Amino acid sequence: MKHPMNLKSLLALFALMGATGAHAGNPDRAGSAGATQLLLNPWARSAGWGLANTASVRGVEAMYGNIAGLSQANKTEVLFSNTRLPAAGMSVNSIGFGQKLGSSGVLGITATTLSFGELENTTYETPEGGRGGFVPALANIGLGYSKSFSNSIFGGILIRVVSEATSNIRTQGICFDAGIHYVTGPTDNVHFGIALKNVGPAMQYSGDGLAIQGLLVTGSDQLTLQQRSGKFEIPSLLNIGAAYDLNIGEMHRVTFAGTFVSNSFTRDQGIVGVEYAFRKMLHLRGGFLYEKDITGEDRESWYTGPSAGLSVDLPFGQEKKSAVAIDYSYRTTNPFNGFHSIGIRISL
């Protein structure tokens, strides 16, 4: 039996979260944020329709899209994903784990690393390189908790540690996500969601790489000048989404979804997507991301719009509630000619 929704409380929470993004969508600040690795969705299933499913994403994958959806994970869920940009020589590896606690709460942890291979070491004196290479290390680790407050309302919060480093310069920061889901309709087929992401203090680089050695005057002792880098903001954003499930008997489902993305450091975006499911085993999805001048040369995103993906779920166990799933997605980009994601999900 559903608990009645306190509509005034829900709207008040939406307004409070939305107020943080009221001044977002400022293209004049484009390029001024750091830690932009936080804007890369590492999970294949939701990337297949561009994260249009902010209002309906569930399980461990929700720790990126909308932490509220983590509460709808099964007893235990493990997820692996690899994303590659072949033309750029870059790969993203992610792992996530969710565990149900009690009857309504789920605790989750996720880790993402970015690999660029070895880059050429250049200096002012040797701009062509020839002095060896270095391997940058970018990673983030998130710990989240989500809870079902009723059959209709779900909420969660996540804390994420961000790290970027080379051999002689590094930075670390912390940020928070919060989100809510609301489900209604005769068969729980209408979804609304809102997610506030990447809210945290400014970050700053430090390390020996910011030091310069030289002579103050000819013949004097060598001095070391330690410089300070400027602080940079984390790219916070607000996602507001809705989704509708069209159930055609017990065999077919078509879901229509949309998300509005209010960015703090670039143009706002709109994402629409559709997913078809056959017997909860085969899923086909596609999406389109729109922002001003998305197909022109003045766009501020490397995405050029379309995305697509598919998933195959293989249930097992006595009641067929456990499953192994394989996810794949492709997103078009310019430059780098798009990227591919593939993931494996184990749900017990």
Span 28-60, pLDDT tens digits: 676 678 888 999 999 999 999 999 999 999 999
pLDDT at residue number 151: 92
Domain with 62 in it: 43-118+134-206+224-347
Q: Is residue 236 part of a domain?
A: yes
Query: Cα angle vertex 60, ends 348, 282, to 5°?
Result: 65
How many angstroms separate the CA atoms of 147 and 107, rounded? 9
Span 156-187, pLDDT tens digits: 999 999 999 988 899 999 999 999 999 999 99
Contacts of 9 (CB under 8 A, 6+ apart): none
Q: Is residue 21 part of a domain?
A: no
Average the pLDDT over each of 17-26, 89-98, 111-120 and give the range with the smallest value: 17-26
Q: Is residue 27 part of a domain?
A: no
Q: Is residue 32 part of a domain?
A: no
Q: Is residue 312 part of a domain?
A: yes
Q: Where are any strands of DSSP class E within the chain?
A: 76-85, 90-101, 105-115, 119-120, 133-134, 137-148, 153-165, 170-184, 190-199, 211-215, 222-226, 237-248, 252-263, 269-278, 282-290, 303-316, 322-333, 339-347
Count up the domains in the chain and report the number. 1
Alpha carbon 303 to chain centroid, angstroms: 14
- Which CATH number does the domain housing residue 308 bear? 2.40.160.60
Q: Is residue 228 part of a domain?
A: yes
How many angstroms separate the CA atoms of 321 and 327, rounded? 18
Average the pLDDT over each of 1-15, 162-176, 270-284, 332-346 and give the range with the smallest value: 1-15
Q: Is residue 270 part of a domain?
A: yes
Confidence check: pLDDT of 107 > 60: yes
Identify the CA nearest to 304 among candidates 50, 10, 44, 8. 50
How many angstroms separate the CA atoms of 166 and 207, rounded? 9
Span 221-269, pLDDT tens digits: 677 777 888 899 999 999 999 999 999 998 999 999 999 999 988 889 9
Place of tokens 């399980």: 59
Query: Cα angle vertex 236, ends 173, 269, to 5°?
Result: 150
- Which tokens go with 346? 């184990």
How many angstroms separate the CA atoms of 69 and 181, rounded? 7
Q: Is residue 10 part of a domain?
A: no
Transcribe 193-209 into DSSP letters: EEEEEEE---B--BSGG
